[in-house]
Structure 1
Amino acid sequence: MQEGQLEKIVTELSALQPQYLKGTGKVTKVHLKSGKHLTIKCKPETVVTNIAGYLGTDLAALRKFCSHRLAAKNSLPLPMTPSLLLIPLRMIKPKFSNDRATGYVNLFSIEDLKEKKNGAIITLVGGNEVLCRQKLKTVKIHLVYARLIYREWQSHYINPYVKEADNNLYNTAKLDLIRKIMNS
């Protein structure tokens, strides 16, 4: 993935949707807030790892932070920046064992949720729609968890001197501030 492409993804990301392409295998369809799509020849998990690397975020520390706050281990929301919080949702039917069918939706890009027979349809900013293979009730629970994590993360992100603030989150906040200063 190129640096310019990654920067565009970080600023305009609405969703990362896994797909299977004939002759290629698993790819990621990136939905942008403008309504456009990008197709990247890697898994959504790899795109999330690349985004975290670009932002200077320690994914292991972030997952640990979220895990302790929610008392859960799987399907943890990932707050990356104040405008990017990725919610993992099952989006496709796995074709083989040990295949992750997880995609990610940005909490701040969700406009509407609709129930469908075998899941839910998430309408994104820009008019894109993403099919989720989980029930609407489950998607709403994930949204509640994401909002809870965002509040907790935001208090640490904005005020890193709060007791129990993780050094990695503090360093992420510093790096984000430095990047904003250099870009202006």
Structure 2
Amino acid sequence: MSEQVCTAKKVIAALVPCYHNNYGNATEIIYLGKGSSIVPRTVKTVLKNIAKEYAIDIKASREKYGKLLGCGRAAPIPLDRETILIPLKMRRVISKNDSARGYINCLTVKDVEDKGEGNTCLVVLRDDRTVKCLHSKRNIKQHINNCYLVRTKLSEASEADGQLAEDYLNCPATKSDIAMLLKEIRELGEKM
């Protein structure tokens, strides 16, 4: 499954729920500039598998960023600095167990165009492909702004982590540090 979902050098642009003739409820994974693939799984399952590859806890991520942004299930899900997924309603469901929600990597969005049919917009990706969403243009722009706020928070956190590591490396060694090193050197000497 993981080979189908996410491979190295492929940037996920969108996870779109779709109905497939052979699979029924499925997910179209759109890769930026590299085509797309249909996976015979729900968007929820595909997202869970992708998050597993990135070692991300979706529930904790939604809690953390939902609290930061003041929203619940509509919180962006950051997988890494270049993949931050925003949940958007993308279709009208046929059956009650189907999901209408898909995800778009907000960093792959080039533009949002009003379709003129109520609350329907086309999200234009950087490779000029479009994804239909059942939201107003204003609402999608708000989701994208939230995404960039999350990205800023991620950058600040990684800079703080880097500063902590640098501070640790620039500290002088204590007597206990030297004692631990001496002990490890003696143990290595005994093994040789």
The TM-score bracket by the shorter chain reads 0.7 to 0.9
Query: Post-superposition shift, 1:98?
Result: 4.7
Q: Name the aligned partner's letter for residue 117 of structure 1.
A: G
Q: Name the aligned partner's letter for residue 15 of structure 1.
A: A
Partner of 1:155: 156
Query: Post-superposition shift, 1:35?
Result: 4.5
The answer to whether residue 131 in structure 2 is matched with residue 130 in structure 1 is yes
Q: Distance in 2 between matches of 1:159 and 1:111?
A: 30
Do the aligned partners of residues 126 and 47 (structure 1) sit closer, same or farther apart at CA in structure 2, a change above 3 Å counting? same
State the Cα RMSD in Å. Answer: 2.1
Query: When the two structures are aligned, how many residues end up with a matched partner?
Result: 162
* Paired residues for 1:16-165 under 5 Å: 16-118=15-117, 119-160=120-161
Unaligned runs of 5+ in 2: 164-192
Query: What percent identity do the matched residue pairs reach?
Result: 24
Partner of 1:2: 2
After TM superposition, the runs of 4+ consecutive aligned structure 1 residues lying more than 6 A away are none
Do the aligned partners of residues 73 and 2 (structure 1) sit closer, same or farther apart at CA in structure 2, a change above 3 Å counting? closer
Query: Post-superposition shift, 1:116?
Result: 0.5
Of stretches 103-112 and 54-63 in structure 1, the one that deviates more from structure 2 is: 54-63
Q: Distance in 2 between matches of 1:138 and 1:10?
A: 30
Of stretches 90-99 and 128-137 in structure 1, the one that deviates more from structure 2 is: 90-99
Q: Name the aligned partner's letter for residue 21 of structure 1.
A: H
Q: Name the aligned partner's letter for residue 65 of structure 1.
A: K
Quick check: which has more Rg, 1 or 2?
A: 2
Query: Post-superposition shift, 1:161?
Result: 7.7
Unaligned runs of 5+ in 1: 163-184
TM-score (norm 1): 0.79
SS where residue 96 of structure 1 aligns? Answer: coil
Do the aligned partners of residues 9 and 120 (structure 1) sit closer, same or farther apart at CA in structure 2, a change above 3 Å counting? farther
Q: Distance in 2 between matches of 1:104 and 1:9?
A: 20
- Structure with greater contact order relative to length (CA < 8 Å, sep ≥ 6): 1
SS where residue 79 of structure 2 aligns? Answer: strand
